[in-house]
Chains A and B, each alone.
Chain A
Amino acid sequence: MTGTDFALEGVSMRFDALTVLEDVSLRIDAGERVALVGPSGSGKTTLLRLLGGVLEPTGGGVRIGGAALAGMSPAALRAVRSQIGFVHQDHALIPNVRVAHNVATGRVGRRGLFGVMRDVLWPSRDTLAEMHALLDRVGIEEKLFERTDRLSGGQRQRVAIARALFQQPSAILADEPVSSVDPSRARDTVELLQSISRDDGITLCASLHNVELAREFFPRVLGLRDGCIAFDVPSGELSEDAVAELYELSSNEMLADGA
């Protein structure tokens, strides 16, 4: 499997009066691993959703795999999205069904409604084996038929990753994948994402609160502040000063945090 590349060209994003991103330009090459860091409200989630083709920018253009998203037909846009695995901060799983059912929904972009229904109600041997292998890879193979809401937060996170992998994606976008787990689990999860990206050669872009993890597992770190790129450096060159400046609270942000 090969990765896909992303490009943002002068992208701005406004929600009504609120400007979340301002004139952001950025390239992520195929197979690259990029960490997004920055304080809450700096626009990390919005940036990821733009990269995933879920949001349409209010200004500028997004390219995924070389193709411009603007003016794309809904079907073509869905095809692009189905190539990108998205790991959501709140996992966004269906709680009252089995793990296997949640994993099966990952392939909805390619298999369509009835394909997924089949995979849920009468899964073939191969499909089950494939899902089991994915769960094995994320370390919870014994939970294949468990009800999703009986799992711990960390286990749910892994189900969400398995669901994204079942998409056979060429890129994974992860929004705060470790915000809801304890520090040692956080390290495991980031390491897992890193190994997936490295072994399968797929692009990985994850937003993280923890700069140390970003530095350790991602060759490139991108700092975001107030909707602008503060720095974009190889992790070896990331200075303590830059990090301190990124998280230094301005009065502006204190207001945003209070809201």
Chain B
Amino acid sequence: MAREGAAARPAPLGVRGQVLLALLLAGVWAFWQLGLSWGDLVPSEGGRAIAGEFLVRAFSPALSSEAEFVPPDAPPLLLQAWRAVGATLVFAAAAMSLSIVFGLALGFFASTAWWSCTFPAGSWIARTLYVVARTVVALMRSVHELLWALLFLIAFGLSDLVAVFALTIPYAGTLAKIYSELIDEAPRDSARALHAAGASGVAVFCIGLVPRALPDMAAYTFYRFECAIRASAVLGFFGYETVGLYIKQSFSSANYGEVWTYLYALLVVVLVFDVWSGRLRKRLLA
């Protein structure tokens, strides 16, 4: 292809085409690097037995406990599933309430608008504090909530409250990042009007800028709430009494019907939330 004169012609691919091509090539490299083969997608003998048994039960989830030995004081399965979903929601809601508070506070500090409102232009203090805030936010969100949970589990032992903190740290970081970006991208015209009316920098920021970003911020917060429900369900794999714990336990003891009961319970909650937040999003951004 590298014939003479080819260089004179415009590149056959634009930047986007090149990125797409690079992405696909990277995919091929990853496939080779991971040593994957399409044949591995078909389960081996043992796997096939489990898969068959498990998938068939999708049509007949358990309505009562399938365990061989059921302790006399154990609650019925459906009540148990109800409680697991409740616990999942409690962890998610508690973590989100903290995340919103810290996300707002950190989001203010991580936005350029905040510092340009509170400090004279070009102040090195403002620039330093901005960089510090951005770094803190980046560190908070670059450690996955499960890794925070693992660290806290080792450092403090199993504790519901600590699990909430583990969820809160990366979620507050993510909210702070998005909030700050939304505030910085908000139109500045009403801020200009407040400035001309004699408002202080903080007032310009809080009344002129934040309300303009608020619908987007609320819509994103709802989306994160949905993510928090999923994350809180997964926390169960680390021993907290959310849906994940029961999925893991039931699957390990090959009570696949129970697994489906819990999966459907989780699915319903997330589906309801997905549809709900989708409609809210349309209202908010109308």
Instruction: Report if A and B touch in the complex (beta carbons < 8 A).
Output: yes
Chain A residues near B (Cβ < 8 Å): 49, 52, 54, 78-86, 88, 90, 92-97, 105-110, 112-113, 116-117, 160, 163-164, 167
17 A-B pairs with C-beta separation under 8 A: A52-B196, A78-B198, A84-B196, A92-B193, A93-B193, A94-B190, A94-B207, A94-B208, A94-B212, A96-B211, A105-B194, A105-B207, A107-B197, A109-B197, A110-B198, A113-B199, A117-B207
**Contact across chains for B197 and A96 when beta carbons are under 8 A apart:** no
B198, B199, B200, B202: most-surrounded residue (chain A CB, <10 A): B198
Decide yes or no: A96 and B214 within 8 Å by CB, A113-B207, A116-B203 being known contacts.
Answer: yes
Say which residue of A52, A113, A160 sits within 8 Å of B203 (CB atoms). Answer: A113
Decide yes or no: A92 and B192 within 8 Å by CB, A105-B207, A112-B203, A113-B206 being known contacts.
Answer: yes
Closest to B202 in A: A113
Complex contacts, B192 vs chain A, CB 8 Å: 88, 92
Closest to B191 in A: A92
Complex contacts, B224 vs chain A, CB 8 Å: none
Decide yes or no: A94 and B203 within 8 Å by CB, A88-B189, A108-B194, A108-B198 being known contacts.
Answer: no
Closest to A120 in B: B207
- Assembled-state Cα–Cα distance A92/B190 (Å): 4
Complex contacts, A108 vs chain B, CB 8 Å: 194, 197-199, 203, 207
- Assembled-state Cα–Cα distance A222/B203 (Å): 35
- Assembled-state Cα–Cα distance A252/B227 (Å): 58
A92, A95, A107, A164: most-surrounded residue (chain B CB, <10 A): A92
- Assembled-state Cα–Cα distance A106/B199 (Å): 9
Complex contacts, B203 vs chain A, CB 8 Å: 108, 112-113, 116
A236 shortest CB reach to chain B, Å: 32
Complex contacts, B190 vs chain A, CB 8 Å: 92-94, 105
Known: A84-B196, A92-B189, A112-B203. 18 other contacts (CB 8 A): A49-B196, A54-B195, A78-B200, A80-B198, A81-B196, A88-B196, A92-B192, A94-B207, A94-B211, A108-B194, A108-B198, A108-B199, A109-B197, A110-B198, A113-B200, A117-B207, A163-B193, A167-B197
Decide yes or no: A82 and B197 within 8 Å by CB, A94-B211, A96-B212, A113-B206 being known contacts.
Answer: yes
Complex contacts, A85 vs chain B, CB 8 Å: 197
**Contact across chains for A112 and B200 when beta carbons are under 8 A apart:** yes
- Assembled-state Cα–Cα distance A88/B195 (Å): 12
Closest 3 CB pairs of A and B: A109-B198, A82-B198, A92-B193
B26 shortest CB reach to chain A, Å: 42
Chain B residues near A (Cβ < 8 Å): 189-190, 192-200, 202-203, 206-208, 211-212, 214-215
A127 shortest CB reach to chain B, Å: 16
- Assembled-state Cα–Cα distance A93/B189 (Å): 7
B189 shortest CB reach to chain A, Å: 4
B120 shortest CB reach to chain A, Å: 9
Closest to A106 in B: B197
A115 shortest CB reach to chain B, Å: 9
- Assembled-state Cα–Cα distance A147/B211 (Å): 13
Closest to B189 in A: A92
Closest to B198 in A: A109
Closest to B284 in A: A96
- Assembled-state Cα–Cα distance A178/B219 (Å): 36
B190, B202, B208, B214: most-surrounded residue (chain A CB, <10 A): B190
Closest to B203 in A: A113
Say which residue of A81, A97, A164, A167 sits within 8 Å of B211 (CB atoms). Answer: A97
**Contact across chains for A86 and B193 when beta carbons are under 8 A apart:** yes
Complex contacts, B202 vs chain A, CB 8 Å: 113
B8 shortest CB reach to chain A, Å: 34
A159 shortest CB reach to chain B, Å: 11
**Contact across chains for A109 and B199 when beta carbons are under 8 A apart:** yes
Decide yes or no: A81 and B198 within 8 Å by CB, A94-B208, A108-B207 being known contacts.
Answer: yes
A105 shortest CB reach to chain B, Å: 6
**Contact across chains for B193 and A88 when beta carbons are under 8 A apart:** yes
- Assembled-state Cα–Cα distance A85/B199 (Å): 12
- Assembled-state Cα–Cα distance A94/B202 (Å): 17
**Contact across chains for A86 and B197 when beta carbons are under 8 A apart:** yes
A78 shortest CB reach to chain B, Å: 4
**Contact across chains for B189 and A90 when beta carbons are under 8 A apart:** yes
B259 shortest CB reach to chain A, Å: 45
- Assembled-state Cα–Cα distance A97/B195 (Å): 19
Complex contacts, B207 vs chain A, CB 8 Å: 94, 105, 108, 113, 116-117
**Contact across chains for A105 and B197 when beta carbons are under 8 A apart:** yes
Complex contacts, B196 vs chain A, CB 8 Å: 49, 52, 54, 81, 84, 86, 88
